[in-house]
Amino acid sequence: MTPQRLAVFEALRADADHPTAEAVYERVSNDLPTISLRTVYQTLNDLVSMGELQQLDLGTGSSRFDTTTGAHHHVLCESCGEVRDVHGDFAGIELPSALADDFSVTATEVVFRGQCSRCATKAA
């Protein structure tokens, strides 16, 4: 475990806000000013490969990273970008029968999109 890898993992563990690689870099570079963005990306990818992180593509332009690796879902504020974990059973979600015959589902991800209460209050 290199100091860089440890710093990246600690930065992720300290906050459950599903940061982008750039946000992790900003946090880590305060303590390790010589770390590069490339090193942060490589470390994040390594941690994903090792099963220590989950990489999320929520359609926001940048991948987000999550330390909760078990099955769960997410809620996304489309105004501020906040992402939170949602633990729940959505077993009733199924493919339409026309697709179910041709496709074997191995995982289901649900992303609820909308506005958090802070952004809704600001908009009102």
Domain boundaries, the chain: 3-66, 73-123
What is the 8-class DSSP label of residue 43? H
Q: Please, which pLDDT band fits residue 1 given cuts at 50, 70 and 90?
A: confident
* Mean pLDDT of all residues in 52-61: 88
* Mean pLDDT of all residues in 87-110: 84
Residues sharing a CB contact under 8 Å with residue 116, sequence separation 6 or more, in sequence order? 77, 79, 80, 82
3-state class (DSSP) for residue 4:
helix
* CATH superfamily entry for domain 73-123: Ferric-uptake regulator, C-terminal dimerisarion domain (3.30.1490.190)
Cα separation, 52 vs 66, in Å, equals 9
Residues sharing a CB contact under 8 Å with residue 24, sequence separation 6 or more, in sequence order? 8, 11, 12, 40, 44, 65
* Mean pLDDT of all residues in 102-114: 87
Considering the domain 3-66 in this protein, what is its CATH number? 1.10.10.10
Q: At what angle do helices 21-31 and 3-14 cross, to 10 degrees?
A: 120
Cα separation, 57 vs 13, in Å, equals 19
Angle among Cα 64, 68, 71 to the nearest 5 degrees reads 105
